[in-house]
Amino acid sequence: MKNIRHILLFFGLFNGVLTYSQSPNNDKVIAKKKKVGFYEWLEKKAMISVRKTFDGSSKDEGKPASFFWNKDFKNSDEEFVTVDFGIKIKELQVFSEPLLLLYPKFEWHKDGREDASKKKNDISGGVNIDFLPFTKLKMNPWFTGGADVQRDIVKELTTFKPKLFLSLFSTAQGLPGSNTTNCKHVFVLRYYPYTGIEHYKATDLTKVNATYWANRLFLEYWPITSPRQLKTYTDPVSNNDTTIALKDEKRYLQFTIDVSHRTKIEDKLFGRGNLYWLALGLNIYPDGKDKFGFGIEYTKGDDPASNFVETDKISLGIKVKL
């Protein structure tokens, strides 16, 4: 618990300093060179990205890394801290036509619960895949998936988890994957439906396994936004029209829904039936940027990041999109 608090404090303070040093003066023209911070260096030079999770799809890439204080509804005396952390290392482009990308990743999900039946501490590593066989259709089917090896330290269980999902992408307003904008051309909505197969196999001597047909939906909605203000003027020297931004676009509030249902095909590993998962999130970004903010999240159901531990909790925390 003490270690988690130190990590929380370190990232909270570090990101606070970073956000301050990188914030441009938004009332001035945006054509200014930004300082390159540690995280930018991390992504650009070391090719490492950090998010909450890279669990088989891009839906979670919009979710920042999070360091949460939690309250369990089922056990009101229990308060604890969690860490959800994912690192993606440089992606490999296997094919260009059609596009096939592989990227190795590492994830850590831990909480400080006292209740051993609900406690989680999982470390996983593996490879994610994105495959885009179509790109010119109005609605493009594409595939995402991967294979991980996950070590559940609490349950002392190591599993191999291959999975493959079909999703949709379109550029048309309101359709899956598109940047849906409001009447002032501010991005407000994006969602992805997924359907696919998940397979879990114990790596110990028992070799028991589980297979689920999984259907999920991720949606993000930005209800409170402020549009960018542009001004066009004619440069007296070159006599060309030039457009500048007088004010940056701001987005203050993000609402997320992550809902999934898993239909059991076979399960000799977890001994469960059909599974469901609901995560509702509300994030506030005080400076209108989506890199750093405060979040509240309600989760209920069978936690897919932790071998489907039954969960019903509310979480408060710092949201860090590095």
Smallest gap from residue 76 Cβ to other proteins (A): 38
Looking at beta carbons only, is 195 or 263 nearer to other proteins? 195
3-state per-residue secondary structure call for 135-185: CCCCCEEEEEEEEEEEEECCCCEEEEEEEEEEEEECCCCCCCCCCEECCCC
**Does 135 contact other proteins by CB under 8 A?**
yes
- As given in the structure block, the two tokens for residue 118 are 């609900």
Residue 217 in contact with other proteins, rule: CB under 8 A: no
Alpha-helical (H) ranges within the chain are: 2-22, 38-44
Indicate whether 158 belongs to the interface with other proteins (CB under 8 A).
no
| Range in contact with other proteins (rule: CB under 8 A) among 193-201, 207-215, 241-249, 253-261 | 241-249
Q: Per rule CB under 8 A, is residue 228 in the interface with other proteins? A: yes
The residue among 149 and 246 lying less far from other proteins, judged by its C-beta, is 246
Contact flags string 38-77 toward other proteins, x per CB under 8 A:
--x--xx--x----------x--xx---------------
Burial 10-26 (b: 16+ CB within 10 A, else e): ebeeebeebbeebeeeb
Nearest distance from C-beta of residue 7 to other proteins, angstroms? 24
Nearer to other proteins by Cβ, of 37 and 125: the residue is 37
3-state secondary structure of 77: coil
CB of 9 to other proteins, least distance (A): 26
Long-range contacts formed by 180-184: CB under 8 A, 24+ apart: 182/225, 184/225, 184/227
SS3 state at 219: strand
Return the CA Rg of the chain.
Answer: 21
- The reply on whether position 246 binds other proteins by CB under 8 A is no
Q: Is 203 in the site for other proteins (CB under 8 A)?
A: no
- Per-position x/- string for 173-202, each x denoting binding to other proteins as judged by CB under 8 A, each - no binding: x---xxxxx---xxx--x-x----------
Stretch of 72-80, 166-174, 270-278, 297-305 lying at the interface with other proteins (CB under 8 A):
166-174
DSSP state of 285: -
Q: Which of 4, 101, 123, 280 binds other proteins (CB under 8 A)?
A: 101
Closest-CA residue to 198 (of 142, 154, 260): 260
Q: In terms of Cα–Cα distance, which of 107, 44, 43 is closest to 321?
A: 43
How far apart are alpha carbons 123 and 155 in whole angstroms?
A: 12
Q: How many residues bind other proteins (CB under 8 A)?
A: 49
Query: Considering only residues 4, 127, 132, 257, which one is a binding residue for other proteins as defined by CB under 8 A?
Result: 132
Q: Considering only 6-14, 154-162, 245-253, 255-263, which stretch makes contact with other proteins by CB under 8 A?
A: 245-253
Q: CB of 142: closest distance to other proteins in angstroms?
A: 8
Spatial CA neighbour of 213 closest among 273, 168, 157, 151? 273
180 Cβ partners below 8 Å, 6+ apart?
Answer: 173, 174, 187, 188, 189, 190
Which residues make up the interface to other proteins (CB under 8 A)? 30-31, 34, 40, 43-44, 47, 58, 61-62, 90-91, 93, 96-99, 101, 130, 132, 135-136, 140, 142, 169, 171, 173, 177-181, 185-187, 190, 192, 227-228, 230, 243-245, 248-251, 289-290
